[in-house]
Structure 1
């Protein structure tokens, strides 16, 4: 039995259609949650961080942490292992986009309906008002479009070129939609053959290579064919030969790899610079200070030491970013208009105790220091600070975070 992947628009009755396909074929349903759990188990990353890869929103720290790219690498590996181990599966959700197009025994299905019908289903099934339903659908479509763009390089997530079947469920009907999928799943064109098995093995090797590189802090695209691996570098590199040598050395140790070739991709000539993730230094540092020139200069000096940072200029913005994102270390001034540093520290430690907070102030007293340390600050430093002292303090905070994980 072939493998079926189903990608769908929200409120397109995909759940009902998929259930009927599973019942009719005797296949096992594999959800996004299962793939995420497998990826988390393989990588050691938290499931919630893996699942964030499906969101269009990217962390402000991602240029340094590569967290989204690492999550995708592990999701690919989880999917590849599933495909190698078992047939007769139905994958439904974002993960359905993970396999490459050249695995011939995968029937690729898209379930979608026009907006009028999607809004009607949202009202009927969830009781949503039209305006609220439009907002939810728009947000979900945005996530799906960003996901497809990242994996396939295609702007339209419903583009027929991505699928073997695009089924307009509202127009076709739930029963007929399921029947069409079951019929096509039995088609000789999606029968498992030695060649399609080999394509799965190539996918597994490329995914394994991708996860190994991600584990070493690299972000490149890997493909494989018969043990021959090609690595594509899509960001500009100041010392390309050195990077190529390092990549080949890492990948050459992966079981099953016969040869390694490197090349530059379309993004290589853009202005963005390739940055390897260094797990020994913090990559998600939030700088909070109302002295704009000082904090911008500090951010630049940390960048020279390969430490990624985001900058905000007041306590309220810091608290909002903490709620929306996940900084690991915060460098916090005490004296700021509005919400001061001590109150920011108090709230951060109450809601996100794992964030290590380094106080950096030019106006603090011994009494302030005692309060901050009692509230859980990692360190208390005075301006002007020696950049080497601050760097070592950041590394020590990062070591504490790693030990806690």
Structure 2
């Protein structure tokens, strides 16, 4: 029996459609939580980190550590491994968008509903007020729009071009919606064939290649057909021959790979420069200093040494990021307007003791140093600092984190 990938908006009666389909077919339900749990097992990443891929508000550090891209790659592999097992599946949720290659026996369904009907469902079935329902729908639709655009390039998550069928539940009701989906499951075009099984294996191979590459710090698009793998680079490359050689050398030895071709996508000539992620280096470094010109220059000098950092100019902003985004290492000035560095250090170590804090100050005293070290600072450095000394200190702080 064919598989179903079902995507919908919030309060679109998708749960009712899914329940009826499970009752009326031999499909087994696969949720986002199931895919996340499997991806975490495969990757060694935490479920919390993997699940962040679904959230529209990306990490400020993602351009340095590619965590979202890594999570998506492992999510794809988790889905691919389930699709090749032969059991009829109903995959519901964000994970329904992970299919990056055509598998003809997979029926892609979008469930949509009229706004007024969605509000009615939210009020009657979930106990929301109209204002609460509208706010929840707007937030949910934004997350789905960002997710779909990141995976497919489409701005409209409900566009018919992404699906085999778009079902307007508000117009035809749950019963008729289920009947239409079941009717399409019987269509000859979505039956399992030798070709469709090969398509599923192609998707699995592409997912395996993608995870093998992200594990080595690379972020490229991958497709496969009967063992022939195509790698597409979508960012500007400074040493393209070297990158092509490395990608081929990493891909060619993988089981199932017959040939490797490297191509260049539509964004190859964009201003962004392709950077390979080095997992031996910290990538979630937060610079906190009110001297704007100094700290911006420092951030650029660190980036030249492949140490990505985000800059804020006061203690309040630093604490907000610690709360929402969890940096690995902080470089912290002491004398700042508002909350000073010692108080920031105290609060960070109280709430996130695993974050290593390097004090970098031009005004500190011996007593300040004593207090900072007692509060748990990793190191205490003075301005002006030798960039190599600071880089080494960051690497040592990160090594301590990785050993913990």
- Whether the 8 Å contact between 2:101 and 2:203 is mirrored in structure 1 is no
> Unaligned stretches of 5+ in structure 1?
none
Question: Who is 2:218 aligned against?
Answer: 218
Question: Who is 1:380 aligned against?
Answer: 380
Question: Who is 2:359 aligned against?
Answer: 359
Please give the residue correspondences for 1:296-375 in structure 2 after superposition, counting only pairs within 5 Å: 296-375=296-375
The CA distance in 2 between the partners of 1:201 and 1:58, in whole Å, is: 31
Aligned: 1:24 with 2:24: yes
The CA distance in 1 between the partners of 2:15 and 2:134, in whole Å, is: 20
Question: Who is 1:393 aligned against?
Answer: 393
What is the CA deviation profile of residues 143-195 of structure 1, one whole-angstrom value per residue up to 9, with x for unaligned ones?
11111111112111101111111111122112221222122212222110000
Please give the residue correspondences for 1:230-249 in structure 2 after superposition, counting only pairs within 5 Å: 230-249=230-249
Secondary structure of the corresponding residue to residue 256 of structure 1: coil
The CA distance in 2 between the partners of 1:82 and 1:385, in whole Å, is: 52
The CA distance in 1 between the partners of 2:326 and 2:270, in whole Å, is: 28
CA 1:389–1:101 in 2, change beyond 3 Å: closer, same or farther?
closer
Q: 1:112 deviation in Å?
A: 1.0
Secondary structure of the corresponding residue to residue 327 of structure 1: coil
Q: 1:24 deviation in Å?
A: 0.7
Question: Who is 1:118 aligned against?
Answer: 118
Secondary structure of the corresponding residue to residue 262 of structure 1: strand
Secondary structure of the corresponding residue to residue 247 of structure 2: helix
Please give the residue correspondences for 1:68-217 in structure 2 after superposition, counting only pairs within 5 Å: 68-217=68-217
The CA distance in 1 between the partners of 2:186 and 2:356, in whole Å, is: 56
The CA distance in 1 between the partners of 2:356 and 2:221, in whole Å, is: 33
TM-score (norm. length: structure 2): 0.98
The CA distance in 1 between the partners of 2:116 and 2:183, in whole Å, is: 28
State the 4+ residue runs in structure 1 displaced beyond 6 angstroms.
none
- Which 10-residue stretch deviates more, 84-93 or 205-214? 84-93
Secondary structure of the corresponding residue to residue 275 of structure 2: coil
> Unaligned stretches of 5+ in structure 2?
none
Q: 1:101 deviation in Å?
A: 4.8
Q: 1:126 deviation in Å?
A: 2.4
Q: 1:136 deviation in Å?
A: 1.3
Question: Who is 2:45 aligned against?
Answer: 45
The CA distance in 2 between the partners of 1:282 and 1:101, in whole Å, is: 34
What is the CA deviation profile of residues 325-381 of structure 1, one whole-angstrom value per residue up to 9, with x for unaligned ones?
121111001111111111111111222222111111111222222222222211111
- Which 10-residue stretch deviates more, 180-189 or 235-244? 180-189
- Which 10-residue stretch deviates more, 205-214 or 158-167? 158-167
TM-score (norm. length: structure 1): 0.98
The CA distance in 2 between the partners of 1:103 and 1:150, in whole Å, is: 20
The CA distance in 1 between the partners of 2:294 and 2:67, in whole Å, is: 28
What is the CA deviation profile of residues 36-72 of structure 1, one whole-angstrom value per residue up to 9, with x for unaligned ones?
1111111111111111111222111111101110011
CA 1:233–1:200 in 2, change beyond 3 Å: closer, same or farther?
same
Q: 1:122 deviation in Å?
A: 1.3
The CA distance in 2 between the partners of 1:337 and 1:295, in whole Å, is: 15
- Which 10-residue stretch deviates more, 31-40 or 141-150? 141-150
- Which 10-residue stretch deviates more, 322-331 or 307-316? 322-331
Secondary structure of the corresponding residue to residue 357 of structure 2: strand
The CA distance in 2 between the partners of 1:76 and 1:303, in whole Å, is: 30
Secondary structure of the corresponding residue to residue 290 of structure 1: coil
Aligned: 1:255 with 2:267: no
Secondary structure of the corresponding residue to residue 166 of structure 2: strand
